[in-house]
Amino acid sequence: MALQVNGVGFSLLRWRRGGALRTRAVASESVATTREEVEKVKLGGSDLKVTKLGIGAWSWGDTTYWNDFQWDDRKLKAAKAAFDTSIDGGITFFDTAEVYGAGVMGAVNSETLLGRFIKERQQKEAVEVAVATKFAALPWRLGRGSVLSALKDSLSRLGVSSVELYQLHWPGIWGNKGRYIDGLGDAVEQGLVKAVGVSNYSERRLRDAYDQLKKRGIPLASNQVNYSLIYRIPEENGVKATCDELGITLIAYSPIAQGALTGKYTPENPPTGPRGRIYTPEFLKKLQPLVTRIEEVGQNYRKTPTQVVLNWLIAQDNVVPIPGAKNAEQATQFAGALGWRLTEQEIEELRALASEINPVIGFPVEKL
């Protein structure tokens, strides 16, 4: 789905704390909206361009990992505000999945929410949005046709006829991985998607998928993996190097370590829910020296720790982080990671400090 912005009326420059950002004011007969201009990058060898930072919608509607196991109108309004604030800040790339959210305990599917937010925004103005969603490689989905069937269900929930990026959420581990890749190729050829990618793929699986699609003249645009300052496994297992070699964009999920790198949590105030079992008081105690240094670096740029660690990822090149935004405040924070860059010395200093911390456990299939 690619929807164009219309009615450009005038432009201006505005000074924001931490740097000068160009702002375009878009005017039409019915609405006048101020929106930041955010640089876009191509996803791999595809023709698809997305903003250098996207927004993850994992938490939208979720009642199993996020939101304290409940979903209500207040959280719904906060998620809608996160969407609108992201658009206002020029961030137009949103990542969701068919397995995000659920129709239980009052929750709704993340795709349904994203589609609703887009439609409501479109009623006010024409706006360009790039949607990425994912296919769940479940055991009973055996053939290439299952990919197309699931994609069409996702399109129905989103309320669109096509999406920009369709990804395999995790590799098929029941002997059907090749069929899934064939399904991605079919989706491109049928015009249902602009680009295709994978997620949680190891170096070997990444090369296999790349080669299989290449035979059909279709580029593998992306590999979405867990990647942050304190989870640098993609640098160690060959995934980042392979992405760079083959021209595949690395999309980084959990780029702020699910909040652990923001400075919000301390040994005395760990996160609630399932995250509390990962980012324990003991782990957070070991993390404090790094968080303190991140805060100090950020002060030099008048940036927050969140903005520093996201900028660190963007500085790795060929990386598009997709932090999850649950509210407008978080979305505003994320936009502030763009338009500036850490020095090489700062980048390496933070990497060195982070290397002293043992990473948390990642998604098991990324090693297969």
* pLDDT tens digits, one per residue of 235-288: 999 999 999 999 999 999 999 999 999 999 999 999 988 888 899 999 999 999
Please name the residues in contact with 93: beta carbons below 8 A apart, sequence gap of 6 or more: 50, 51, 53, 54, 55, 130, 132, 320, 322
* Full pLDDT tens readout for the chain, 368 residues: 443 333 222 222 223 333 333 333 333 333 334 566 789 999 999 999 999 999 999 999 988 888 877 888 999 999 999 999 999 999 999 999 999 986 545 568 999 999 999 999 999 999 989 999 999 999 889 889 999 999 999 999 999 999 999 999 999 877 666 899 999 999 999 999 999 999 999 999 999 999 999 999 999 999 999 999 999 999 999 999 999 999 999 999 999 999 999 999 999 999 988 888 899 999 999 999 999 999 999 999 999 999 999 999 999 999 999 999 999 999 999 999 999 999 999 999 999 999 999 877 666 566 66
Residues annotated as catalytic are 100
pLDDT value at position 170? 92
Contact indicator for 249, 318 with CB cutoff of 8 Å: yes
In angstroms, what CA-CA distances link 283 with 169, 230, 269, 362? 28, 11, 12, 15
Is 79 in contact with 326 (CB distance < 8 Å)?
A: yes
List pLDDT tens digits, range 126-167.
998 999 999 999 988 988 999 999 999 999 999 999 999 999
- Phi first, then psi: what are they for 282, rounded to 5°? -65, -45
